[in-house]
Structure 1
Amino acid sequence: MSAQERVAERRERVLAAAFDRFGTKGYPATTIDLLCADAKISTRAFYQCFDGREAVLSAVYNGIVSEAMSNVRGALDEAGDTPRDLVRAGLYAYIRYMITDERRARIAHVEVRRAGDPLLPERLRTVNEFAALMAGLMRDHTVIEGIDHHNLAIGLIGAVQELITTGVQGDPRCAEEDLLKTAEYIFLAALPN
């Protein structure tokens, strides 16, 4: 392997270790030393790949978000044209992607918040990206007088984020079908008939 290939391979090992650690033990409990031990690399090798823990969390988070957005867009492309069809397709694709591997949900909805200020711009960019997609669908398929579609979408996203967080970390946990039906109800209740 070339030096560049070795760095890329180490980077992938760190990302895999971080996905598991952040998704099971949490961001605060995950040190660089633990990531290095799990990835079987030295601290020096770690810093050839990443500037620190925030950079690793950012990379893991962005990978999750990118795949989630791709799943949602694919589901929307295949959905019917009614608001109910679009809501169901988009929500189900997103929620199922997140809860199929609870580590995704924990990283995207809990741990990225725990990282605080360094990742706040990325989290807000992600929320706004999903909100823009939803606001565009609302403008295309419903008429809502006097309400900013983007702000409504942000509020609905917040509700879904809390449902997912409770669904994977609550006690008792919410059953998948209940989670999906509740999220769908919230979205459809916000849209005019």
Structure 2
Amino acid sequence: MTAAYTLYAKPGFASTTIERLCSEARISNRAFYECFGGREELLQALHERCVEESFAYVTKALQEAPDTLDGRVEAGIRAYVEFATADWRRARIMHLEVRRSGDVLTASRQRAVQSFARLVEEASADFPATASPSRRLVAIAAIGALQELLIEWLLSEEPPELDELVEVATHIFRQSLGGT
């Protein structure tokens, strides 16, 4: 898993063979196949671990946040951005390789987005609804915006500062959810 964490982040999932994974991990191909059915299964396990850890980190931040919509939005966004960017490999796996892997992680990615959308719905449920007909769809759209901001941070020659990412994402979520 450690070797894949680095190799799937760079040079990337598509460029990482099982032979390279095994060489980096100093295990035999046979040992690899005793644990995973293929490199796709390993990528899914890595992605799901990253999502579970980020979900727990954001949930904790929301529990400790001020009991206002703005307080919850800022705490949740800041926690997610801090967690995702604390390790560039995690950010790449969660936001680039998940898309570059084709259909391999489509279901896993969709489950992650749905889980975070439910978290946004729950965190904002006590506050007046927006004019939008669906808070869930608003949450999904705002999550998509945050993901694109993180991709910009990963790929840009002059990446935005993390505080700027938090500020912009917080603005998008607040406006979308009806905050100030």
TM range (shorter): over 0.9
Structure 1 vs Structure 2: percent identity of aligned residues?
39
Q: In structure 1, which of residues 49, 56, 63 is the aligned counterpart of residue 42 of structure 2?
A: 56
8 Å Cα contact 2:153/2:160 also seen in 1 = yes
CA distance in 1, matches of 2:62, 2:125: 15
**One-letter amino acid of the structure 1 residue matched with residue 71 of structure 2:** D
When the two chains are superposed, the root-mean-square deviation of aligned CA atoms in Å is 1.1
Say which of 142, 152, 170 aligns to 1:184: 170
Q: Is the 8 A contact 1:68 1:94 kept in 2?
A: yes
Aligned residue in 1 for 2:157: 171
Encode CA deviations 1:100-146: one digit per residue, 9 max, x unaligned: 11111110011011111132111101100000111222222222234
8 Å CA contact 2:58, 2:76 repeated in 1:
yes
What is aligned with 1:66?
A: 52
Aligned counterpart, 1:148: 134
In structure 1, which of residues 88, 109, 119 is the aligned counterpart of residue 105 of structure 2? 119
Any gaps of 5 or more consecutive residues in structure 1?
A: 1-14
The reply on whether 1:107 has 2:93 as its aligned counterpart is yes
Please say if residues 139 and 149 of structure 1, whose CA atoms lie closer than 8 Å, have aligned partners that are also in contact: no
Task: Say if 2:12 is the partner of 1:16.
Answer: no
Q: Which residue of structure 2 lines up, in the alignment, with residue 5 of structure 1?
A: none
Q: Which runs of 4+ in 1 moved over 3 A?
A: none
Q: Which has the larger radius of gyration?
A: 1
Task: Name structure 2 gaps, 5 residues minimum.
Answer: none
Contact 1:127-1:154 within 8 A present in 2 as well: yes
Q: Write the distance in 2 (CA, Å) between the matches of 1:99 and 1:146.
A: 31
TM-score by length of 2: 0.95
> CA deviation digits over 1:63-99, x for unaligned, max 9?
1101000000000010111111000110100111001
Output the CA distance in 1 between the equivalents of 2:177 and 2:29. Answer: 52
The more displaced of 89-98 and 170-179 is 170-179
- Which piece of structure 1 moves more, 117-126 or 158-167? 117-126
Is residue 33–residue 43 contact of structure 1 (8 Å, CA) maintained in 2?
yes
Is 1:43 equivalent to 2:29 in the alignment?
Answer: yes
